[in-house]
Structure 1
């Protein structure tokens, strides 16, 4: 399938594609690529990568043994996946236990605990997590890299949900649904979902004439315009259509992943992953947002939070598997984060109670090239009394005692400053336009 087909599919499945700005051939972007995965709603790190002893205010669900519930430097919340988390037994295979996730990815994983998000507001939280600052219209990190490395590429920054601010540095390509993927991949096919039915609405030659007539009509419309903005927009669309045939092939999946209906949010994330990896392979994209919601567990925390975390881990694992199969994982940096954390403790004493917003969170990073992110390390932490972030030594990142004023409490700003250094974009014009205050910590070294 060529890129014309890919962009046709994308445009009709919620993928709003920005037209190229000129007719010149674009050099395919070869990486590194950036995948931002948002656990929307506010996850609970104590149920994931920052476990706490049972019996305290933070955990009444799992037994935590620091000597056992550990893989490499990472402690994890060893939460069993009860059968009643799903109604369809076939759905269980698409949930992933924390222990299985950490065991599989230990050598490619970096965990940062005790991140002071400085807010417990959802909107400000997601903005802070993905841009490093909660106000000022700062761009998502993936958009910042895309604007620095490949701003003219038509799919440079793809967003399928979450914070997709670009700071007006470049267009955002929004990918929200792939329900009509097959139908729109071959618009002349009567029933593209049926591989046995090859009938078309019109003969191929007629379909080509229709497309040619559309192009001629668009050119005539452009030539008749006198208002600069309309003429420019029509010209961009005309150039985009004219460029499509010169673009190289893109390897799209023959089929989209199909999992049990009760996991529709995870299925959507997985399908968006398939398209994102295809865009990376084509050299059209630099970064992508993926999102899984349902983490705002003010009630029924011990069931809903566990289920959503198990989906999230499976979704992250799927990104890794797809990137590995495409030969791209060594050139990909994955960041996983959330609006903020949850706590401290529960908001009631009943089994169905939840946890409220808490401005202390965690972040996880993965890459097929461990040296790229300094994988195999745990940075930071929280105390077991108030679930507050512990300071770290600014040079070694060793965790210090609470209240040690020689240390630094890690914020999202610190993470993004380090990410900019990692990507080599700190001195670029986009980053200089959207500066971040603070010191650069050796988070990825």
Structure 2
């Protein structure tokens, strides 16, 4: 690409401040921290995960005694079995992870927030709230905010495979749902980019390069004639996107994609998106990624469906962490797991097939291969009452439970303000543009 033309177009689109001083080939790789946002879409049940309750109104599936809890250190969990009849194909069982196994493996690397008041029972508002810190829309996903601050010029700075992908127009979002679709985008001249052994191209490389150059020149000429800012900006963004194809093709994608039984299709998609995310991270082209697993809206068959989806989710989180470890970036990775809201309070019927309805009180999990990034692992902040499943306030300084009127009820704005501080972007122009007004709590040290 002609550097003079590149900079001219970029300046015209208002992107000059985000461009490197040297040629694009010298774009420095982003080296972390990396952020993975995992959405349990539909409203999960923390009572069946990290906020256990005794058998009764809220739980009829496992035994729990607060006086003698099932716990790893300070983190209590619901000791729910994973019976074989949760799936129809026995080959699916290895892709389900029990709470006991998950917390035994990750409790020391984890921060749990319970009693999180989402202030909504609405799915759309809940999804926006948990990932942006505001429920009224327009605010960026936390990972997008960090990407816009740390590496706005990188072509895959913020990847979304589902969940809330709002960016506040700070940066583009890359919507890639699979490694196959990425290969097609990154190598448009390959006849079959999904086959690593087939290097056949539609055109000779020199011919393809001349066509690409002609497209860029035509696009630059088109942009130069535009007077409407939106059309001019869109043309410039397309110019930049096309110019990044060589960087995209440098991503070392896995030759073999994870394959699961048909009934595990939702988890397979999440796992394949994880493979793509790790490739983008290790290439230094991405800052954050959204992943999503649905199926948590359990108004019926709660004790079967919720348990199965949670077991899938925990396997998926474990896969993210293990793939990050294989890539050598787990100690430079922060994972957040959340949901639209919680479920409860209690069941909506007396029979075994009854479910739980929407409940605004939820939880969130944070993990890292280096718990020091989280201000220390093995911690639980917040709680809910046993009688009403309502949030209990905390002391804003010590984070200890405080049931007096001085106790602060945890909310998504509290979490996101602390996350911004953790990521070192709280004073960035992007964060100030999308300000969050609430108490600053030392959730992550």
TM-score by length of 2: 0.88
Write the deviation string for residues 1-34 of structure 1: whole angstroms up to 9, x where unpaired. xxxxxxxxxxxxxxxxxx9975644221111111
Write the deviation string for residues 298-327 of structure 1: whole angstroms up to 9, x where unpaired. 011010000000000000000000111111
1:257 partner SS: coil
Q: 1:430 to 1:47 in 2, by over 3 A?
A: same
2:163 partner SS: coil
Q: 1:297 to 1:179 in 2, by over 3 A?
A: farther
**Residues 248, 282 of structure 1: 8 Å contact kept:** no
Within a 5 Å distance, the mapping from 1:7-156 to structure 2 comes to 24=24, 25-54=26-55, 56-66=56-66, 67=68, 69-156=70-157
Deviation at 1:284, TM superposition (A): 1.1
1:146 partner SS: helix
Write the deviation string for residues 253-290 of structure 1: whole angstroms up to 9, x where unpaired. 12111111110000000110111111111111111111
Q: Provide the alpha-carbon RMSD of the alignment.
A: 2.4
Q: 1:192 to 1:138 in 2, by over 3 A?
A: closer
Write the deviation string for residues 136-191 of structure 1: whole angstroms up to 9, x where unpaired. 51111111111111112111111111111111111111123445566777666666
**Residues 99, 314 of structure 2: 8 Å contact kept:** yes
Write the deviation string for residues 318-367 of structure 1: whole angstroms up to 9, x where unpaired. 00001111111111111100000000000000110100000100000001
Between the aligned partners of 1:385 and 1:276, the Cα distance in structure 2 is 42
Q: 1:381 to 1:90 in 2, by over 3 A?
A: same
Deviation at 1:223, TM superposition (A): 2.5
Between the aligned partners of 2:39 and 2:368, the Cα distance in structure 1 is 17
Q: 1:338 to 1:253 in 2, by over 3 A?
A: same
**Residue in 2 aligned with 1:349?**
350
Deviation at 1:252, TM superposition (A): 1.6
**Residue in 1 aligned with 2:418?**
418
- Of residues 392, 397, 400, the one that matches 1:398 is 400
**Residue in 1 aligned with 2:226?**
227
Deviation at 1:237, TM superposition (A): 3.9
Deviation at 1:119, TM superposition (A): 0.9
Q: Which moved more, 1:430-439 or 1:20-29?
A: 20-29
**Residue in 2 aligned with 1:438?**
438
Which residues of structure 1 form unaligned runs of 5+?
1-18
Q: Which moved more, 1:358-367 or 1:273-282?
A: 273-282
**Residue in 1 aligned with 2:11?**
none
Q: 1:271 to 1:395 in 2, by over 3 A?
A: same
Between the aligned partners of 1:224 and 1:180, the Cα distance in structure 2 is 28
Which residues of structure 2 form unaligned runs of 5+?
1-14
Within a 5 Å distance, the mapping from 1:289-308 to structure 2 comes to 289-308=290-309
**Residue in 2 aligned with 1:382?**
384
Deviation at 1:211, TM superposition (A): 4.1
Between the aligned partners of 2:331 and 2:384, the Cα distance in structure 1 is 31
Between the aligned partners of 2:247 and 2:36, the Cα distance in structure 1 is 28
1:269 partner SS: helix
**Residue in 2 aligned with 1:12?**
none
Between the aligned partners of 1:130 and 1:100, the Cα distance in structure 2 is 27
